[in-house]
Amino acid sequence: MEHDPGRRRPAHFPVTEVHNRTDLIFLTVCTKERRPVLASPHAHALLCDWWRKAEQWTVGRYVILPDHIHLFCAPHTRTPTALRNWVAFWKNGVSRNWPEPGSAPLWQRDFWDTQIRIGDAYGAKWEYVRNNPVRHGLVSTADEWPYQGELATITW
């Protein structure tokens, strides 16, 4: 499908289930007006806590940058809640527990999601994501960036 340059919001296609294969989603969530507030130990811990509480989907690898998050996730239950509802759950939880309540709203209204359909795409996308802090000039090597990790192993 071609990208529509006039599109103002991402198109959220339903997850396509293929038997014997993990439904793996690459997700990008940005802060409101791209404010650089996420790269801190507190934000990192808060996000991981709410991702663990949002049990319908499992978070695998992730990178938290100052103004956006990249993560890979997969359904944790046979009939998971809609991705939009899951994202809203943890975004609301993080916002309610944010240490600076006057900084609301914390998040952009929407998010970008892509279903990984080819096994090689997962590894390639992860290498791109984990090197984001280097491309942004935040660190010299990807391993130096402290706000990344893997909550659960999601295999393709």
pLDDT at 101 (0 to 100): 72
pLDDT at 15 (0 to 100): 52
Contacts of 119 (CB under 8 A, 6+ apart): 156
**Residue 24: count of CB within 10 angstroms of its CB:** 22
Tokens of 98: 């944010």
pLDDT at 71 (0 to 100): 97
Ordered structural domains, the chain, with CATH: 24-150 (3.30.70.1290)
Contacts of 90 (CB under 8 A, 6+ apart): 47, 50, 51, 53, 54
* Rg of the chain on CA atoms, in Å: 15
Local mean pLDDT, 10-residue blocks, the chain (156 residues): 49 48 84 95 97 94 97 86 94 93 85 85 90 97 97 85
pLDDT at 5 (0 to 100): 53
